[in-house]
Chains A and B, each alone.
Chain A
Amino acid sequence: MGNLTPQAFSYVAELVRREAAIVLGPGKEYLVEARLTPLARAAGAADVSAYVSTLQSPARAKQRMAVVEALTTNETSWFRDGEPFEALRTTVVPQLLTQVPPSRRVNVWSAACSSGQEAYTIAMVMAEHAGGRKVDILASDLSQEMLDRTKAGSYSQLEVGRGLPAPMMVKHFRRSGTQWQVSEQLRSMVRTQRINLATPFPPLPVFDVVFLRNVLIYFDTPTKRAILQRVRQVLSPQGFLFLGGAETTIGIDDGWDRTTVGRFTLYRPASAADPTPVPVPSLAWAATAEGR
Chain B
Amino acid sequence: MTTTTLSPSTPVDTPARPARSVAPIPMTRLVGVELRKMFDTRAGFWMMASVGIVTVLATAAVILWAPDEAITQNTFSSAIGMPLSVVLPIIAILSVTGEYSQRTGLTTYTLVPWRGRVMTAKVIGTLLVGVAAMFLALAVGALGNVLGSAITGLDAVWDISLAQFGNIVLANTLGMLMGFMLGVLFRSSAGAVVGYFVYSLVLPIAFGTLAAFQSWFADLQPWVDVQFAITRLFDNTMTAEYWQQLGVTTLVWLWIPLALGLRAVLRAEVK
A binds B: no
> Which A positions have Cβ atoms within 8 angstroms of B?
none
